[in-house]
C-alpha cells in the first residue's frame, strides 16, 4: 500500500515537472523580451520610419503594413468562414460531403505556412498578376486563417441550444430568419473569439508573406492595395538575420511590439470566451 502511494507521489512529481518544463520557458521568453525590449520603446520608435539601413529610427511602416494585412485577411476570411460555419452547423447533414468538408478544414489548418506562401505566389502574385502586394498577402493570410474562423464559429453556433431554434420555428420564422435573428446573436461572443484568434495568427505569420507582399526595406507607407509593404514579423526576421550590426535594442523592441500585438489579441479572445462562459444561461 505504501509503495503504491509512493509511486503516485513520484509520478505526480514528474507530471508537475513536465508542466514546469513548459511554463517556465514561456515565462522566461516573455520576461527576456519585455526586459530587453522595453527600453527601446518610445514614441519615436513606434512612429518613425526605419533609418540608416534599419539600424536606427522606428518601425512605423512595418506596424502599418501588418495592420493593413490583418484587416485585409479578416475582410476576406470572416464572411466566408462565418457562412461556412453556418452551413456546417445549420444545414449540413451527417453525410459524406460533410465529412469531406471537415477533413478539408483539418487539412487547411495543417498546411505548412510556407506552402501557403508558395500558393499565394503562384495564384495571386503570378496567375492573377496582383504582383507582390498587400492584396496578395492579405488573401493568402485570409485563406490561412479560414480554418480557425470556421472551427470556432461553428462551435459557437452549435452551442446555441436547439430549443431556441424550435421556438423560433414554431413562431413561424423561416430557417434563415431563425439563423439571422436567434442563432447568430447568441453566438456572437464565440465568433468574435475566433475572429480575434485569426487576427492574431495573421499578424504573427511570416512565411506566407515572404514572397507575396513583404518588402525588405520600404521606408514609406503603402498607398494602395497593389503596393508592397513592410510587415512586423518579416521586419524582425530581416533585422535579426539579414542585416548585420543592428542594435540589439531595436531587435528586442521589434520583437516586443509584435509579441504584445499578438498576445494582446489572444488575451482579449480568452477574456471574451471566459466572460461568455460565465454569463451563459443555458
Q: How far is the CB of 36 from other proteins (least distance, A)?
A: 9
- Positions 195 through 234 that interact with other proteins (CB under 8 A): 200-201, 203-207, 210-211, 233-234
CB 175 within 8 A of CB 189: no
- What is d(CA 209, CA 214) in angstroms, rounded to the nearest whole number? 6
Decide whether 223 or 275 has the Cβ nearer to other proteins: 275
Among 166, 270, 275, 277, binds other proteins (CB under 8 A): 270
Rule CB under 8 A: say whether 174 interacts with other proteins. Answer: yes
Q: Is 15 in the site for other proteins (CB under 8 A)?
A: yes
What are the angstrom distances between the C-alpha of 270 and each of 131, 167, 182, 201, 204? 37, 31, 24, 14, 17
CB nearer to other proteins: give 87 or 276. Answer: 87
The cell numbers describing 115, all together, are 506552402
CB of 236 to other proteins, least distance (A): 5
Q: Which of 218, 73, 225, 85 is nearest to 158 (CA)?
A: 85
Minimum distance, C-beta of residue 85 to other proteins, in the bound complex (Å): 9
Sites for other proteins among residues 35-94 (CB under 8 A): 79-84, 86-88, 90-92
Residue count, binding to other proteins (CB under 8 A): 90
Residue 147 or residue 223: which is nearer to other proteins going by CB?
147
Q: Helix (H, G, I), strand (E, B), or coil: what is residue 51?
A: strand
**Half-sphere CA count of 98, side-chain side, radius 13 A:** 11
* Binding residues among 96-155 for other proteins as defined by CB under 8 A: 100-119, 121-123, 126-127, 143, 146-147, 150
Residue 161 interacting with other proteins (CB under 8 A): no
Give 229's DSSP letter: B
Alpha helices in 38-133 (DSSP H): 43-47, 60-86, 96-110, 113-120
Amino acid at each position: 500500500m505504501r509503495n503504491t502511494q509512493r509511486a503516485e507521489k513520484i509520478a505526480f512529481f514528474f507530471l508537475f515537472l513536465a508542466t514546469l518544463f513548459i511554463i517556465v520557458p514561456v515565462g522566461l521568453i516573455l520576461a527576456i523580451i519585455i526586459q530587453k525590449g522595453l527600453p527601446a520603446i518610445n514614441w519615436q520608435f513606434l512612429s518613425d520610419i526605419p533609418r540608416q539601413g534599419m539600424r536606427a529610427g522606428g518601425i512605423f511602416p512595418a506596424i502599418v503594413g501588418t495592420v493593413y494585412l490583418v484587416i485585409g485577411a479578416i475582410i476576406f476570411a470572416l464572411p466566408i468562414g462565418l457562412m461556412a460555419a453556418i452551413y456546417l452547423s445549420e444545414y449540413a447533414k451527417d453525410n459524406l460531403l460533410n465529412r469531406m468538408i471537415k477533413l478539408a478544414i483539418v487539412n487547411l489548418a495543417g498546411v505548412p505556412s510556407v506552402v501557403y506562401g508558395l500558393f499565394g505566389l503562384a495564384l495571386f502574385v503570378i496567375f492573377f498578376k496582383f504582383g507582390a502586394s498587400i492584396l496578395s498577402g492579405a488573401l493568402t493570410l485570409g485563406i490561412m486563417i479560414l480554418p480557425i474562423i470556421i472551427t470556432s464559429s461553428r462551435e459557437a453556433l452549435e452551442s446555441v441550444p436547439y430549443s431556441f431554434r424550435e421556438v423560433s420555428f414554431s413562431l413561424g420564422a423561416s430557417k434563415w430568419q431563425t439563423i439571422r435573428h436567434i442563432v447568430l446573436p447568441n453566438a456572437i461572443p464565440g465568433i468574435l473569439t475566433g475572429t480575434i484568434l485569426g487576427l492574431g495568427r495573421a499578424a504573427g505569420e511570416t512565411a506566407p508573406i515572404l514572397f507575396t507582399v513583404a518588402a525588405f526595406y520600404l521606408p514609406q507607407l503603402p498607398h494602395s492595395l497593389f503596393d508592397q509593404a513592410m510587415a512586423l514579423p518579416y521586419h524582425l526576421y530581416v533585422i535579426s538575420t539579414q542585416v548585420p550590426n543592428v542594435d540589439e535594442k531595436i531587435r528586442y523592441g521589434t520583437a516586443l511590439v509584435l509579441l504584445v500585438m499578438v498576445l494582446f489579441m489572444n488575451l482579449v479572445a480568452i477574456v471574451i470566451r471566459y466572460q461568455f462562459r460565465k454569463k451563459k444561461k443555458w
